[in-house]
Amino acid sequence: MLSASSNIRMGLEQTPRIGYAVQKFSYIRFWFLLSFLIFCLFDAHIQTLLHLDNFILAECIEIAMLGYLLLRVITRKKIKPLLLGSILLMLLIIIAGTFKNGFFVSLVGTFFLFKSIIAFQCGYVIKPTLKEIYKLFNFILFIACVSGFVSILQYFIHNSFINNPFGFPIVKASIEDRGKGIFSHPNRNGQVLLYGGILSLYFFKSSKDQWKRYLCFLLIIGGMIGSGSRQSLLGFAIILIVHFFILNKASKKIINFFALSTFFLVFVYSFGQDFIQQRFSKIGSAVETGDYFRLQATINSFEILRDYPVFGVGAGLWGGTVAEKYGSPYYKTYDTFQGYLRKTSMDIDTYWPHAWAELGIVGFLMYLLVLFFIIRRLFKLRKTLGDIPKILLLMLVATIFVSAFSLEIEAAFINLIAFMLAGSIINKFKEYQNEVA
C-alpha cells in the first residue's frame, strides 16, 4: 500500500508540467551523485590532465558539494535523532578544539575527521531511487573490474606505460613494484577493488549470469594480489565472514562460503604467493626491529590520550592531513616522526589512533556510538529493502577496517558515496519500501 507522500508524487508526475519538473529533478539528482563519485574516484586523473599536481581538487569540490548539502540539512524544520546527534557531536568537537588551537584549525580538523559522517548527513537530503543506486553500484563494479584487469597486467608486465598509464607523479620507488590499476596509489586501487568484491557477492544471481560473477571475482582478487594491498586482502576475508555468517545465515550459503574461501586462498597462493608473502613479511620484520611506524604511532597516541584524556589535543592537531599542513606542535612534543623514513608525507597513515588522540575518550566514544547506530540501522533494514542495506553495511565495515591501516575514512574517495547512500536509505526507508513493494 502506497503512502500519502507516494500518492502525491504519483499525482504530480501525472500532471504534465509538474511531472516533467519531478523527472528533471530526479535526473539532476542522479547526475549530481554520479559527478560526486567521479570527482572522488578520479581527482588525481583530472589534476594530472589540468596540470594541477599540488591542488587538492577533490577536497575543494567536495567541500562545495557537502557544504551546500549540509546547509540544507541543518536548516530543516525537523531533524531526526541520529542526524541531530552527529551534528551536535561535531559542534562539541569544534568548540572544544577552538580553546586549544583556534577556530579555523578546529573547524577544518573536524571537517576532515568527520568527513564520512558529513557525507552521511548529506544523504538525508538526497533521495535517489533504488534504480539509481543500482546504477551507481554498476558503475563502481565496472571501474573495479577494469582496474583489476590493469593491475594484473602491471603484475606480469613491467612497462612504463602500463605501470603508470596516466602519468601520475611517483611518490616513492617501491610503489612501482605494486599494481596501482587505473589509480594513483596501490591502496586506493585496493579500496575500489574491495568495494567491487562486495558488489560481486550480490550481483549476477541468476544461473545464466554466474560466469559474470566468477569473471568479476577473478579480476578483482587478481587485482588485489597485483596491488599488494594487504588491507584489501584482509578486508575481503572479513567481508566474506560477515556476509555469509551474519547477513546471510543459511547452510547452503555457509557451504558457498567455504567454497569461495578455498578458491580465494588457492588463487592467492598459486597466483601471487611470493609477492604476497613478501608484503606481509615486511610487517613482521618491521615489528621485530621496531621500525613499524603505525605501531609506533599507536603507542604515541596512547601517550597523548594519557595526557589529554577528556577531549584529546583537539581536531586538526595530531596524525592527519590538517596537522601535517599546519605544523602541529604536538609532533615535536611527542617525537612522533623521530626516525620516520617516509619524507613525502607526515601523517601517521592510520586513522583510529589519529581519531582518539584528537577526540579524547569522551569524543571518541560518542563518535563510535554514531557509527554503531548507523550500522545497526542498516542491519535492521536488511530484511525489508533487499540487498542495498547489506551492500552499504559491508562497504562501511570495509572502510572502518581498512582505516586501521590508512586514513581512508577521512579521504575524499569512494567511501563518501557509501556513507551518503547510507544516509538516504536510513532517512527515507519507508519510501524505499514502497519501491520494493
Fill in the amino acid letter for 381.
L
Q: What's the confidence (pLDDT) of residue 140?
A: 95
Ranges of the chain with pLDDT below 70: 1-27, 52-58, 159-165, 167-177, 249-292, 338-346, 430-437
Q: What's the confidence (pLDDT) of residue 431?
A: 66
Residue of 433, 429, 427 whose CA lies nearest to 76: 427
Q: Are 233 and 405 in contact (CB under 8 A)?
A: no
Q: Are 420 and 120 in contact (CB under 8 A)?
A: yes
Neighbours of 42 (CB within 10 A): 19
Specify the number of domains making up the chain: 1
* Nine cell digits for residue 307: 595526557
Residue of 93, 61, 223, 87 whose CA lies nearest to 156: 223
Query: How many angstroms separate the CA atoms of 69 and 204, rounded?
Result: 34
DSSP structure class, residue 77 = S
Q: What's the confidence (pLDDT) of residue 333?
A: 82
Residue of 97, 102, 139, 115 whose CA lies nearest to 59: 115
Query: How many angstroms separate the CA atoms of 350 and 327, rounded?
Result: 18
Query: How many angstroms separate the CA atoms of 407 and 400, rounded?
Result: 10
Annotate 251-300 with three-state secondary structure. Answer: HHHHHHHHHHHHHHHHHHHHHHHHHHHHHHHHHHHHHHHCCCHHHHHHHH
- DSSP assignments along 202-220, one per residue: HS--SGGGHHHHHHHHHHH
**Nearest 5°: CA angle at 39, between 399 and 171?**
70
Measure CA of the first residue to CA of the last residue in the chain; give whole Å. 8
Residue 302: C-alpha distances to residues 153, 158, 357 (Å): 42, 42, 7
Domain that holds residue 417: 4-436
Beta strands of 150-227 (E only): which ranges?
none
Q: What's the confidence (pLDDT) of residue 135?
A: 93
Q: What's the confidence (pLDDT) of residue 291?
A: 46
DSSP structure class, residue 177 = G
Query: How many angstroms separate the CA atoms of 406 and 347, rounded?
Result: 10
Query: How many angstroms separate the CA atoms of 398 and 392, rounded?
Result: 10
Q: What's the confidence (pLDDT) of residue 17?
A: 45
* Burial (CB count within 10 angstroms: exposed 0-12, middle 13-18, buried 19+), residue 17: exposed
- pTM (two decimals): 0.84
Residue of 122, 91, 97 whose CA lies nearest to 109: 97
Residue of 192, 189, 201 whose CA lies nearest to 242: 201
* Residue 381 CB partners (closer than 8 Å, separation 6+): 389, 425, 426, 429
Q: Are 228 and 179 in contact (CB under 8 A)?
A: yes
Helices (H) and strands (E) in the chain, counts: 20, 0
Residue of 368, 355, 353, 362 whose CA lies nearest to 311: 362
Q: What is the pLDDT of residues 137-192, one digit of tens each?
A: 999 999 999 999 988 888 877 766 666 667 665 444 344 567 788 888 888 899 99
Q: What is the pLDDT of residues 240-274, one digit of tens each?
A: 888 888 887 665 566 666 666 666 666 655 555 55
